[in-house]
Structure 1
């Protein structure tokens, strides 16, 4: 147990800084116009989703295009828990993580019989089957295209047993009846799980299990030739990653108690991959940065319209203003995906390691005169004679 919680000074510093950045979001996001609860909740939830996906993709190299299925399973499980048992988010999240883990175990057991592009196609196929099942076949469970929502006549047996009564409006998820999970309290509830998830991922990266996953990514064929069975390790990583996605899906239902099949579409899985690559595959903080960046563009840039742009460029001459607005409007509002695509193209072309590689390059500029150059009074050691 001590080995699990023992951390190097660098890991402790990283964890403290990350926790401070997450908890202080309402302050430092103010200048960016993003310090409102709904967006900060998305930052926390999709950060959890990205770091969980990175356990699989970043450490083992297995690229899954089906992780949105686990996101949907977590959401549906949480909403059903609210409907049947209680509006307390803790049981809902526990069941969401368990159900997503079991679902990931079943899919991973089949998909991990193949590797490379074949593994990716299998996970994509499973995700699309899950989407179609949720959208049409399993409508008694998922409510089809309408989505699963709370209703006044839901039994909620645990809440009823403890005398919780409805005032005629739909209930809100609440922590033991004390704090409603919306607004700033909802954000901090999600933020705590993001910090816990980051800590778990940090421990996985530094553990012998994480080193084994890196070895599998480096050369799985050589490990198989030595007689080492890699499947239990890759399957464990797949299940852990699926449980993170289930937790993210459960938190979505906690902050907004509904679940729809659209959360299981292949485009949602592609967005998870995009977040991880944009931030930096295999890094601890990179996927979280990628998730925050994408969600910021989605919610801020997509809200810009021509009237906002006209106000923004009002200082320009009329003809120039109109021209600039017409050009800029292609990259914001409904066209914000074009901006995201350009950013992704630039990052992949010039920063193959993602945003974290860019941060490292910037850091190296300040350390250029550091340890790379020998000190003036330092003599370069003579080369040892060849043996």
Structure 2
């Protein structure tokens, strides 16, 4: 008889897992919505920031000389959250798998065109438009990803860039009946969607009749706070995108994406198919970009091919790296930082600088204005470039790593005390 207890037959995966079960590490406890306590706290922080953004972004009174640094107006707050969604989606691909795409603006543009055509043909309600944007961008990213992921490294990046530039060229000059060419598309009073339509002039997106531009103002002393419907709809989409990002990062799927970034060759040896995981991540990332594109149309029903230009793809790369690639909060921070500089720092001119340095003697005042002006106003890109270099050199983990270092220093000082 054969002694079964000493059999050398190989174990199946299930048997090996059963045999090693007592040694397995216990899973972290899950709380509300399947989040750990730490992730739930982070989700709560982001929710508070989104809900109270009109207050947080308007710290200075309207009559103050520093009021020009306030960013709590609807258009800019919408840009914060929409590009935050765009960067969150890009981070799922680049931050987890390490695949650097230079063509993600193509999915942003395709999503925008899908949303505008939904509003021109079906309804001005934003919900179908956003859904169409996500679906069409996902299908387009499936095609682009299936071809581009046949290569890796710089070749993958060049392929995605080529697809984005081809998409831009098609939208700009070839597919003008569909894209509107250089002038773009907008909702006109001649459009006849199936369910309702613009009564006169340019049509505006709405949510069951409530236009995205509807706002309520609250005046408290010298402060003026604006609460915009479009912003809160985009903010709700950001919270949903951030929650999905957390679940992806913490899931077995997210672990497999990290494995792709770590060692694809080892994955192949174990019988896993890394291309399936990277393609899935690419499509999910493209759908996030489509969501951002659909929201852009919901806020401003004007779509042009410039959204697909290579500079838009480069911008989301900078956002992600600046905030912290591979982190949950980093892409949102990077998007907010760049959009703040683009819309606030870029508006500071020489007259404002003269007001700032008016307390100095005339000659010294002119010198300070001459020194500072190249870094603001139209030169805000120079400041951004310098900060980007400093972050890459000294904070490879982005702004999130900087915050972690500061927090660690405070904890260390507190422990010593």
TM-score (norm 2): 0.85
Alignment partner of 1:214 is 2:258: yes
Other-structure match for 1:312: 356
Rounded to whole Å, the distance in 2 between the matches of 1:268 and 1:128 is: 11
Question: In the alignment, is residue 178 of structure 1 matched against residue 215 of structure 2?
Answer: no
Shift in Å, 1:105: 0.2
Q: C-alpha distance in 2, partners of 1:210/1:339?
A: 35
Q: Is the 8 A contact 2:145 2:282 kept in 1?
A: yes
Q: Are 2:46 and 1:18 aligned?
A: yes
CA–CA distance in structure 2, aligned partners of residues 218 and 140 of structure 1 = 45
The more displaced of 146-155 and 275-284 is: 146-155
Q: For residue 86 of structure 2, what is the aligned residue in structure 1?
A: 49
* Corresponding residue for residue 30 of structure 1: 58
Aligned residue for 1:368, secondary structure, equals helix
Q: Secondary structure at the match of 1:79?
A: helix
Asked if structure 2 preserves the Cα contact closer than 8 Å seen for 1:75 and 1:258, the reply is no
Q: Please report how far the alpha carbon of residue 110 of structure 1 lies from its aligned counterpart in structure 2 after TM superposition.
A: 0.3
* Counterpart in the other structure of 1:64: 101
In the alignment, the residues of structure 2 paired with residue 157 and residue 10 of structure 1 have an alpha-carbon distance, to the nearest angstrom, of 47
Residue of structure 2 in register with 1:378 after alignment: none
What is the aligned partner in structure 2 of residue 92 from structure 1?
A: 129
Mapped contact 1:182–1:255 kept (Cα < 8 A): no
Cα 1:109/1:3, change in 2 over 3 Å: farther
Residue 214 of structure 1 aligns to a residue in which SS? helix
Shift in Å at residue 182 of structure 1?
A: 5.1
Instruction: Determine helix, strand or coil for the equivalent of 2:195.
Output: helix
Q: State the match for 2:168 in structure 1.
A: 131
Higher gyration radius (CA): 2
Aligned partners of 1:127 and 1:179: how far apart in 2? 32
- Report how many aligned residue pairs link the two structures: 367
Alignment of structure 1 residues 1-387 onto 2, 5 Å: 5-31=33-59, 32-159=69-196, 166=199, 168-181=200-213, 183=215, 184-368=228-412
For residues 224-281 of structure 1, the C-alpha deviation after alignment (integer angstroms, 9 at most, x for no partner) is: 1222111111101000000000000111110000111110011100000000000000
Residue in 1 that maps onto 2:16? none
TM-score, normalisation: structure 1: 0.92
Q: What are the superposed Cα offsets for residues 91-120 of structure 1, whole Å, 9 maximum, x if unpaired?
A: 000000000000000000000111111100
Q: Which moves more between the two structures, 312-321 or 236-245?
A: 312-321
Deviation, 1:193, is 0.2
Contact 1:111–1:123 at 8 Å: present in 2 too? yes
Alpha-carbon distance between aligned partners in 2 of 1:4 and 1:11, rounded to the nearest angstrom: 10
What is the CA-CA distance between 1:48 and the residue it aligns to?
0.3
Structure 1 counterpart SS, 2:202: coil
Residues in 2 aligned to 1:328 and 1:287: alpha-carbon distance in whole angstroms: 29
Moved more, 11-20 or 269-278: 11-20
Q: Secondary structure at the match of 1:158?
A: coil
Give me the whole-angstrom Cα distance separating, in 2, the residues matched to 1:51 and 1:156: 33
Q: What's the CA shift for 1:171? A: 2.3
- CA-based RMSD of the aligned residues comes to 1.7
SS in 2 for 1:308: helix
Q: Which blocks of at least 5 consecutive residues in structure 1 are unaligned?
A: 374-387
CA offsets 1:108-136 (integer angstroms, 9 cap, x no match):
00001111111000000000000000000
Q: Structure 2 stretches of 5 or more lacking a match?
A: 1-29, 60-68, 216-227
> How far did residue 181 of structure 1 move?
4.3
CA distance in 1, matches of 2:396, 2:128: 41
